[in-house]
Amino acid sequence: MKKWNEWTKKQKITLGVALAVVIVGGAVGTNVYAKNQQEQAINEALATIKKEKVSLEQLEKAISELRDKENPNFLAKEVDLKSLESIEKQIDQLKKEHGRVTISEVKKQNKEVVNLLEDVESNVEAISYQLMTQTKVSQLFIIKEKEFAIKGSEVNLTLPTADDLSLSDIEAVVSATKAEGKLMTIPKSNDSDKTWEKSIDALTTEAKKQVELIEVSKKSVADLFKDKKPVDTTDKELVQALKKAVDGIRNEKAKTELLAQLNQVEDAINKKEKNEADKKAKEQVAKESANTESKKQNAGTTEDYAVDGNLNNSNWSGQGSQNQNGGSYTPPANNGGGGYTPPTNNGGGGYTPPTNNGGGGGGTTPPGYDGHADQGELDQQEIDGSNVDHTQNPNSPWG
């Protein structure tokens, strides 16, 4: 092989041209390859973006199904939690895939996807927040089968509150949900008077009213007890007013307990009233009995004559004394008005004085007697008997 210095000038020129062609050709080939690679990367990025866009549009449609069709400010009546979780997982996957697209040539298309991705993610977060809030607020109430606190745009404000619910429990729910709600973008309501936010506020406000009514009623009822015993001096009207207030409580547990306590107070009041009424009745009976006995005692000194016409010697002070010889003495009627001197009866038989037909001394004629005497006649006989001076008659048994 010839050495370089042995090459002719022509040969050297020919070799240089050949080498130049090779070098230039290699450079051009490299540029073409690089250009082809760039175009391929752009196409792949655009394909990825297109695919992501389709996926996001599908997710956006699925999300719209979770909202009320008539008023998208509210959730749908039946929100499928599993569907929501599935959407959230797909969004996370798209975010990871989209992070690989960094080519500046697809910046415009990329921005569209990014914006769409952000909107979808924001809607999912809002739905998740609303669903969580509705769940927490619903837990403030007792909800039976087929009942609800909020369903779609419908709100039930007649539910009983949960057992032993406190104002602090309600406040905790309100504070937590409102703080998080400020970060959410919820679609605007097409009816300013009926919004999801107002519906949630109405439910928490109603829960507060019910709990406040229970707490006030408990305090009022507790005041009717002393040392755990019902106060029987309580005004009955107050008890009835409290019963009416307690009737407005929807929680059955609290309502039953309060009514039972009010019934205890009412029973104590009724028992006291009955005891007082019984006492008054007994006092009245005793008073009437005493009056009757008093009348009997007053009338006992002037009892009626016996049926056989004789006076009852035990109750008439105007009669004569018992005959010393065992006979009974029956005073005669003095028809003449004269003085009467009965003879001394020394025998053992009964003595019947004769009728005085003579003149009118100081004697008194007793009224006609038919076997019975009224009170006036008995009184007059007693007076007449007391006015006779028996000592003036030498034959008088009282002499």
387 has a pLDDT exceeding 60: no
Average pLDDT over residues 193-211: 97
pLDDT at residue 389 in the model? 54
pLDDT at residue 336 in the model? 46
Average pLDDT over residues 59-63: 91
pLDDT at residue 17 in the model? 57
More confident site: 377 or 367? 377
pLDDT at residue 271 in the model? 95
260 has a pLDDT exceeding 80: yes
CA gap 314, 311 in Å, rounded:
9
Q: How far is CA 264 from CA 231, 272, 374, in A?
A: 9, 12, 61
pLDDT at residue 383 in the model? 56
272 has a pLDDT exceeding 70: yes
Average pLDDT over residues 342-353: 48
Whole-prediction pTM: 0.61
In the predicted model, what is the mean pLDDT of the chain? 77
pLDDT at residue 378 in the model? 54
pLDDT at residue 360 in the model? 44
pLDDT at residue 323 in the model? 47
pLDDT at residue 288 in the model? 86
327 has a pLDDT exceeding 50: no
More confident site: 181 or 165? 165
pLDDT at residue 107 in the model? 73
Position 242 confidence tier, pLDDT thresholds 50, 70, 90 = very high
65 has a pLDDT exceeding 60: yes
31 has a pLDDT exceeding 70: no
pLDDT at residue 337 in the model? 47
pLDDT at residue 246 in the model? 97
pLDDT at residue 236 in the model? 93
pLDDT tens, 139-173? 999 999 999 999 999 999 999 999 999 999 999 99
